[in-house]
Structure 1
Amino acid sequence: MPNVMNISVAHIRRTLQESYSAQEAANLSRIVCCEILGQTAVDYYLGKDIILSPKEMQDLDGILARLHNFEPIQYIQGTARFLERSYHVAPGVLIPRPETEELVETMLKEIASDARVLDIGTGSGCIAVSLSKAFPDAKVTAWDISDEALNIARRNNDMLGGNVRFLRQNVLTYTPGDSECYDVIVSNPPYVTESEKQTMERNVLDWEPFSALFVPDNDPLLFYRRIAELGKTMLAPGGRLYFEINRAYGEATATMLCEQGYTNLQVLKDISGNDRIVIAER
């Protein structure tokens, strides 16, 4: 058996085109070649062969097999980028999305640097850790119902030097204590309706956690309504809710919050022009 073998960028791309569009295959092949196999960007775009050992070739075959099974590249790498930082991700947590970056960027412009913040449904911890890093004087608490998610979030907090307090809580059954008070409650809860499954890509549907994605068709505002109810006792006067929402329910979410007595409601659009962020004040 030879000590090294050559494989071409074109071969990797052609292999991926069996399962992905040409654009997706090109993007994935660049990540595989440059970020995983260590090829320089110049050599990649010149289409130069990659020299691999038999072990590296075996690893590449494994990566390509996982991609053919539509496993997200972020899970294969074990990392995802969020606001210029790398977060550890695994199938127990959602992969951070650009829309969530927009939510955090909005908050960074508006909340006080020493705010008391609660992040409900923290997942990888990307919202809570980003806020903690930006505002070292803030007191950031993060909840999740999943022990696996909390372990990943704690790992990210430790790795990135955040100062977040993590707690296992079920927001749907939680009873707040008398002394609990926050200036900000933020949440990117499950908001994809069951009927939307049929339009979703396999790399999301087959791999990302259902409990973090889906709500029943007959109650799409389930989590928002419950968090709003908690906010009436857990938010300080003038405190704010920040929600990432399903684009189909901007008006419905705002109406529900208004009916619960919240004021200064805003529905903000994401970079694609979809309703994506709702802000309300107690």
Structure 2
Amino acid sequence: MKNLLKRIDYALAGIYDASGLETVRKALCTELLGIDVLSFYTREPLEPDSERERLLEDALRRLAGGEPLQYVCGNTPFCGLSFRLDGRVLIPRPETGELVEWVLQNRQETGNLLDIGTGSGCIAVTLAHRLPGWSVEGWDISPDALRLAALNNELNGTDVTFRGVDILTNPQSDIKFDVIVSNPPYVTESEKLDMEKRVLDFEPDLALFVPDDNPLLFYRAISRFASANLTAGGSLFFEINPLFAHELVLMLESGGYHNIELRKDLYGKERMIKADT
């Protein structure tokens, strides 16, 4: 085990800080190479294994090239569940988990819920898992993302219905939803200058960016849809760009929503908003 860890350290020197390197060590050993957690922490000796050797060499090459750890390992934990991941979808962030926990507060036993821009399905699948009496749908424009979301639905034993829908085309629905939640694209093109290279190089632009001159593009479309398709007293939840939080409040107020509430994430940024019909 010690030799294995030395190889990881040597290959990734200068790419990760000490904390990040320990995260990478554990993920590669336990998630990618299948070493149990106890053996990892006790540094038990390992027998040579050609398959592990191949997996490790490939992983170190990809990580050295800047590819995110979650894509290299092929999965990530989220809200107590495990999700398969690759470059077809965004990597779930802790802030999105905070949004999920907010949605879960004070929910009735049954209802209809829609996740718009579902990506990996992390929001929809987690909510379906935690709200077993609810009917949950996940929409996305990307067929590739929907295929991965369906796999995560199957692996986590949930019953989410996924549909290929472009929310910008003013879609219609026969269902009235009690909750609509979305983490839509909200990073403006000009913000690319401040972003990590591994995000720009590997995560899908389709799920990240909006034009500088129309930063609320998806929020306008989703709020219009929600105003017509939420039940009376239903709730709309968004993950948001903190730079446009107050513009979004004004937009929702002008759209007839009430009980509008902003919340900060664990980093102290205004990252979530809730509005009721």
- TM norm structure 1: 0.91
- Matched residue count: 277
CA distance in 2, matches of 1:200, 1:52: 40
Contact 1:8 / 1:47 at 8 angstroms: preserved in 2? no
1:252 aligned residue: 247
CA drift at 1:226: 0.8
- Is the aligned partner of 1:125 residue 2:121? yes
Aligned to 1:231: 226
Residue 263 (structure 2) aligns with: 268
State the match for 1:24 in structure 2: 20
Closer, same or farther: CA 51–19 of 1 in aligned 2, 3 Å: farther
Alignment of 1:1-282 (within 5 A): 7-39=3-35, 41=37, 44=40, 50-177=46-173, 179-282=174-277
Task: Return the alpha-carbon distance in structure 2 between the equivalents of residues 252 and 110 of structure 1.
Answer: 27
Following superposition, the deviation at residue 42 of structure 1 comes to 5.7
- Structure 1: how far apart are the matches of 2:132 and 2:18? 44
Give the conservation status (yes or no) of the 8 Å contact 2:170–2:221: no
SS, match of residue 131 in structure 1:
helix
Q: Secondary structure at the match of 1:206?
A: helix
Percent identity over paired residues:
42
Residue type of the alignment partner of 1:275? E
The gaps in structure 2 that reach 5 residues or longer are: none
Structure 1: state its 5+ residue gaps: none
- The 8 Å contact of residues 39 and 50 in structure 1, kept in 2 or not, is answered as no
TM-fit CA distance, 1:25: 2.2
Q: Which moved more, 1:141-150 or 1:29-38?
A: 29-38
Q: Which amino acid aligns with 2:139?
A: W
1:54 deviation in Å? 3.7
The CA deviation string for residues 229-252 of structure 1, in whole angstroms up to 9 with x for no partner, is 111211112111000111222211
For 2:167, what is the secondary structure of its paired residue?
coil
**52-61 or 84-93: bigger deviation:** 52-61
CA RMSD in angstroms comes to: 2.0
| TM-score computed with the length of structure 2 as normaliser | 0.93
Distance 1:231 1:8, change over 3 A: closer
SS in 1 for 2:169: coil
Cα deviation for residue 24 of structure 1 reads: 1.9
